[in-house]
Structures are given as structure tokens and as C-alpha cells.
Amino acid sequence: MVGINGSGKSTLLRTLAGLQKPISGGVLLQNSLLNTIGIEKKAKKLSVVLTGQYISKNLTVLELVALGRQPYTNWLGKLSREDKDQILNALSATELEDLKNTACHALSDGQFQRALIARALAQNTEVILLDEPTTHLDLHHKASIFSLLKTIAHEQQKTILCTSHDIELVLEMSDEMIVIHDRNAIQNTPKNLIDSGVFEHLFPDNIIGFSKETHRFFIR
């Protein structure tokens, strides 16, 4: 999901996650209104990774990822064999096995972002929502995170929706995109969105242009 600053990307994502009430209308998850689904049941269907969410970085990577199993553990919080398998699978999918006993404060920003994604994977939901998962990362790590998300979506058959300012990267790596522009949400494949000309008018076109040939923005 892309759009200029202030277009409402994060507001829409938080609304889809059930973290704030819709301004109007409602959100359906598997044909049920999201606000009618119990917290525990919703946590087994939908996981969320938010930018700036407070998480103690004194936890090890393993402890952080294990938090994703909270919807499934008993009242004692004891991990079952299934819980442990899901945690190990999440660590493997995000290539964090060698860092599982490392404290989160010792991780790079890119590694910590992978750990947050691993926690969502351990939650084992069909839908994962992420708000600006590549903020503060360099180009290499941004591409790495988007590549990881695409691999997870395809190999594990999950629906993954993230907001991003990195439009050019997202164009190359998304199956579909939602463009927020002039209070409208336009959803389609990157190719169809490029052909429609929506990116040529996303920013003030007297300053920023977009090339359909190179899929790049340029300063006029």
C-alpha cells in the first residue's frame, strides 16, 4: 500500500487490523465483521507488525518470536511441541537460527525487523499486516525484507499487506498494490497501475515525474 505522506496509509492499515474504528463502513475478515470476532480468534487469523511498537529489546530473538504463540498457549503460557515447531519454522524462514540466543538490542535494524516478522510467522495467521517494515533500513536491507515477505507469501500461501514509501522497490516485488491517491484506493497489479498513469500524478507533477519505461521517479 503506497501513497504520499498524510494520504492515510497507516490509518487504513490500522483500521484493517482492528486497532482503530473505521471512519465509516466496516472491515470483513472471511465474511465476518472484524469487530464481532473475539480477540483470541482474531489473533489466530491476523497478525500485525507496527513501526515504533514498544518491545523490550532485552528479550532474546527466541523469546521475542515465542511471543507469537501467545494466542495458542494455555493459561500457564507453556509451549507445546506444536508451538516450538512453529517458532523454529519461523526462525528458519527468516534465517535467524544462528541469532536465536542473541539479545534484540544487539541486532542490526534489519535483523530486528526480521525478528518481528518471525514473531508474526510464529503466530501462524493467514493474513499479516505490516506498517512501514523497511523504515530506517538501507537499500540492501529494504530489498532483503521485501524479498523475504514475497517468498513467505508465495511459499506459505499467506496474504501479506504492508505500507511503504519505497514505491520503486515495491513496484518490482509486489503481486498487487493499493495506491492511495486523492482519497481513493486503487488496487491492481503493478503493470496495470503503471499503464493507467496513476504514478505520473501521485506527486505534484510540476516537480516529480514518473517514467513508464524505467519504472522510476525523476525530478523535473
Per-residue pLDDT tens digits for 16-48: 999 999 989 999 998 999 999 999 999 999 999
Q: What is the pTM of this model?
A: 0.91
Cell of 99: 541469532
Q: How many alpha carbons lie under 13 Å from residue 89 in its C-beta half-sphere?
A: 16
Give the whole-angstrom CA distance, residue 198 versus residue 127.
27
Q: What is the pLDDT of residues 98-142, one digit of tens each?
A: 999 999 999 999 999 999 999 999 999 999 999 999 988 999 999
Residue 147 DSSP symbol: H
CB of 172 closer than 8 Å to CB of 147: no
Q: Among 124, 42, 27, which residue's Cα sits nearest to residue 82?
A: 124
Instruction: Identify the band that residue 214 occupies on the pLDDT scale cut at 50, 70 and 90.
Output: very high
- 9 alpha carbon, distance to own chain's centre: 12
Domain of 97 in residue numbering reads as 2-219
Q: What is the pLDDT of residues 199-213, one digit of tens each?
A: 998 988 778 999 999
CATH number for the domain that contains residue 58: 3.40.50.300
Give the whole-angstrom CA distance, residue 73 versus residue 67.
10
Q: Among 108, 86, 94, which residue's Cα sits nearest to residue 151?
A: 94
How many separate domains does the chain show? 1
